[in-house]
Structure 1
Amino acid sequence: MHISSQALPLAGFRVVDYSHFLAGPYLSRCLAALGAEVIKVERPTEGDAGRHHAYFVGDYSGYFLQQNMGKKGLCINLRDPRGLELMHKLTDTADVFVENYRPGALKKLGLGYDELAARNPGLVYCSISAYGHTGPDSHRAGFGLIAEAKSGIMAMVGNPGEAPPLLRVSLGDMYTGIHGVAAICAALLGRVKSGKGQHIDLSLYDCLVSIHDYAVQCYTMSGGKDIPVQTGHDMPQSTLYGVFTASDGHLVIAAQVDDAWKRFALLAGGEAFAADVRFHTSAGRNTHRLEILPVVRAWTTTRTVQHCLAALDAIDVPCAKVQNIDEVLADPQIIARGMVVEQDHPVLGKIRMPNLPFRFSGCDTSPTCVAPDMGQHNREIAASLGFTADAIDAMVRDGVLYRPEPDA
């Protein structure tokens, strides 16, 4: 695809990323990919907790490298007045401030929204927390796992009667992070007319409750009678739509639409099965689901995954193999879409990371640099804010600006 020389959408915007682990760093990684200058601020001496999260190669965390590519690194002691002064000068120049600490924690440091907005009225300040800044649980700590359990999502996953499984992807953090991207972009657009920034208060719990596409209205519109529960490998309210076992693996089939169902029924069950008018509507298929599933399973279990996929593709019924991650990375579609990026790391050499899904006709959002080492850009950033060389040297000497010593 031809990419023109059009500027990236957020070019010229400065983001101060004072967040850790996942939701905030993912959000700011997205802003960096969209062209913003993102300065990742960490605390001495451990830095972002994500630096200590597997998978490791040597001393480097792939988790951290993935979520912090494209950023500059600043590591400062905010409890020293010089560190707080530097941070205030930095936020005075910023368009966006991102944090994901427990509500009230940054106010104690002198970095709450009211204080920063008084200095910089145009600042868009985005807070991410487990429960948000209001409500009876706002003081409580939490992670994506907590939100996934409380949101009702986990209760619908897995086999009936068994403990729900872990989702194995950080749905709460990533979904909240991308909501933060949308909210920040909207606030920046609104600032064009108002001239003012604002505080965005995002909750992992809120975001996961909002993701429900069916369960909430199922309950409310039934007068509280219907509560979606675990159903295992298919959806009783959307027959036929589920996971099926083949002779050598698993596949998904989506034949819930009437026309697709009729084509699939003829393939899997023959003319009499396809002609059964009880199955010609969604309501009928749901009612007679337990008659349909054995026929489908008999068809898939006697064939390989590839045989099933070829037959389904031939009649235009949506389907896919349940792929392991090695198959995903080798998938020609993923390769063609550039969803795995290769970067040159100064220590690790070539590393491969998941790309972001942004595709613009006029610009390229491919990452331009690897995640920064802790405090990598301390001197550069301090100098850009007007600190003299002597002042910077003193802050480095006193540990106000911190950068770990390289291993001997």
Structure 2
Amino acid sequence: MNKATQALPLAGIRVVDYSHFLAGPYLSRCLAAMGADVIKIERPKDGDAGRAHAYFIKGQSGYFLQQNMGKKGLCINLKDPRGLEMMHKLTDAADVFVENYRPGALKKLGLGYEELSRRNPGLVYCSISAYGHTGPDAHRAGFGLIAEAKSGIMAMVGEPGSAPPLLRVSLGDMYTGIHGVAAVCAALLGRIKSGRGQHIDLSLYDCLVSMHDYAVQCYTLSGGKEIPQQTGHDMPQSTLYGVFAASDGYLVIAAQVDDAWKRFALLTGGEALALDARFHSAAGRNENRTEILAQAKAWVAGRTVAGCLAALDAIDVPSAKVQNIEEVLNDPQIQARNMVIEQDHPVLGKIRLANLPFRFSECDTSSACIAPGMGQHNREIAASVGYSAADIEAMERDGVLYAEAQP
């Protein structure tokens, strides 16, 4: 397949990324992978707070490297009038502005939506915050963990009666970031017809509440009688669907659909189980969940993970080993899908990072460009909005532009 028959879909779109940590940088990383010219704005001399986030090697943050690849770096003092003027010149010529500060913070700097859209009516301005720009909690700070706790998701995971576990992936940030990608692309498409950009107000809390595929409708349609609770390792409304312990590890089994259940029942309990009419409907299996779980647990416990998977694959019942990250990276499926990319880093040499899941038939979205050093592209970006070499040198001398030493 020829991956170069088309330009990347967002080629020609300029994005000013004034975000930090995860949700905003992930959003703009996705836009960069799809061809947008993304300018990463950082403050002297600490830069994006993500630079101080593990995992560290030789002073480099893998966290920052992963979420900021494919971007150009501008490090600028926005409290200096010259810095703010340059930022305005960038946003005047930009298509998209991404930020994830507390509502109102950028308005004080002269970078709020009203000001930037007045100067550039076509600008798509995307804000990400914990609670959004409206409502009684809009002023409150928050992170993904806060949204995960408040959203009702955390209350449904873990063992009954035990404290809910941390999810160990930044669900709130990443889910909000990818919603931002969709919203920005939709706003850019809408701009073709209207000629105007608009403000996108994304809340981590909103995004996670929208993620509920069952809990909200369960509560509302039951008149408030049903509140999903912690159930441990399976789903009471989808029997059989859960995590099971084999003799040497864990696997998941999804035999909740009628046909899959019948095959699973025949395998694990013979005709007596397969022909038991109590289990021939989803409602019947849910009503008799305890009996079914006991049968499944006993069958799995007497076998290795590999033995279980081989038997389940043979009868086309979906199943998988619970893999650790080493197993994931060595998985032939992940390797075939190019979900780990290799880049050349000036300090670290060859590095491997997680790829994005976009797959286009006519172009390749895998980024070969590493995340920028702080202020790495100051001169290039300043020149692109009309600053002379003398102007740039003066701003560097006065600390308006800052760049860390490049290796």
TM range (shorter): over 0.9
The answer for the alignment partner of 1:69 in structure 2 is 69
Conservation of the 8 A alpha-carbon contact between 1:130 and 1:203: yes
Name the Cα RMSD after superposition: 0.8
Q: Secondary structure at 2:201's aligned position in 1? A: strand
User: Which letter maps to 2:169?
Assistant: V
Report the Cα offset of residue 404 of structure 1. 2.2
The answer for the alignment partner of 1:172 in structure 2 is 172
Conservation of the 8 A alpha-carbon contact between 1:268 and 1:296: yes
Query: What CA deviation, in whole Å up to 9, does each residue of 1:37-75 have, x standing for no partner?
Result: 000000011000000000001110000000000000000
361-370 or 198-207, which deviates more: 361-370
User: Which letter maps to 2:131?
Assistant: Y
Report the Cα offset of residue 3 of structure 1. 2.0
User: Identity rate of aligned residues, in percent?
Assistant: 81
Query: What CA deviation, in whole Å up to 9, does each residue of 1:75-130 have, x standing for no partner?
Result: 00001010000000000110000000000000000000010011100000000000
Q: Secondary structure at 2:77's aligned position in 1? A: coil
Looking at structure 2, the residues matched to 388 and 332 of structure 1 have their Cα atoms a distance apart, in angstroms, of 52
Report the Cα offset of residue 273 of structure 1. 1.2
Query: What CA deviation, in whole Å up to 9, does each residue of 1:206-225 have, x standing for no partner?
Result: 00000000000000000000
Q: Secondary structure at 1:131's aligned position in 2? A: coil
The answer for the alignment partner of 2:186 in structure 1 is 186
User: Which letter maps to 2:268?
Assistant: A
Looking at structure 2, the residues matched to 202 and 248 of structure 1 have their Cα atoms a distance apart, in angstroms, of 43
Matched, 1:2 2:12: no
User: Which letter maps to 1:226?
Assistant: E
User: Which letter maps to 1:385?
Assistant: V
Conservation of the 8 A alpha-carbon contact between 1:239 and 1:289: yes
The answer for the alignment partner of 1:386 in structure 2 is 386
The answer for the alignment partner of 1:34 in structure 2 is 34
- After the TM superposition, list the runs of 4 or more consecutive aligned residues in structure 1 that deviate by more than 4 angstroms: none
Unaligned runs of 5+ in 2: none
Matched, 1:217 2:217: yes
Looking at structure 2, the residues matched to 200 and 347 of structure 1 have their Cα atoms a distance apart, in angstroms, of 38
TM-score by length of 2: 0.99
Unaligned runs of 5+ in 1: none
The answer for the alignment partner of 1:373 in structure 2 is 373
The answer for the alignment partner of 1:259 in structure 2 is 259
Conservation of the 8 A alpha-carbon contact between 2:44 and 2:76: yes
Q: Secondary structure at 2:140's aligned position in 1? A: coil
Report the Cα offset of residue 362 of structure 1. 1.0
Conservation of the 8 A alpha-carbon contact between 1:4 and 1:361: no
Report the Cα offset of residue 270 of structure 1. 1.3
The answer for the alignment partner of 2:88 in structure 1 is 88
Query: What CA deviation, in whole Å up to 9, does each residue of 1:222-248 have, x standing for no partner?
Result: 000000000000001100000000000
User: Which letter maps to 1:133?
Assistant: H
User: Which letter maps to 1:313?
Assistant: D
Report the Cα offset of residue 274 of structure 1. 1.1
The answer for the alignment partner of 1:314 in structure 2 is 314
Matched, 1:105 2:105: yes
Q: Secondary structure at 1:174's aligned position in 2? A: helix
1:217-236 to 2 correspondences below 5 Å: 217-236=217-236
The answer for the alignment partner of 1:143 in structure 2 is 143
Count of residue correspondences: 407
Looking at structure 1, the residues matched to 117 and 322 of structure 2 have their Cα atoms a distance apart, in angstroms, of 49
Looking at structure 2, the residues matched to 245 and 297 of structure 1 have their Cα atoms a distance apart, in angstroms, of 7
Looking at structure 1, the residues matched to 11 and 271 of structure 2 have their Cα atoms a distance apart, in angstroms, of 60
Conservation of the 8 A alpha-carbon contact between 1:244 and 1:250: yes
Q: Secondary structure at 1:306's aligned position in 2? A: helix
Q: Secondary structure at 1:369's aligned position in 2? A: coil
The answer for the alignment partner of 2:44 in structure 1 is 44
Conservation of the 8 A alpha-carbon contact between 1:38 and 1:71: yes
Conservation of the 8 A alpha-carbon contact between 2:376 and 2:404: no
Query: What CA deviation, in whole Å up to 9, does each residue of 1:344-378 have, x standing for no partner?
Result: 11111000000000000111111030000000000
Query: What CA deviation, in whole Å up to 9, does each residue of 1:283-334 have, x standing for no partner?
Result: 0000001111111111000000000000000000000000000000000000
Looking at structure 1, the residues matched to 404 and 311 of structure 2 have their Cα atoms a distance apart, in angstroms, of 58
Matched, 1:163 2:166: no
Looking at structure 2, the residues matched to 8 and 384 of structure 1 have their Cα atoms a distance apart, in angstroms, of 22
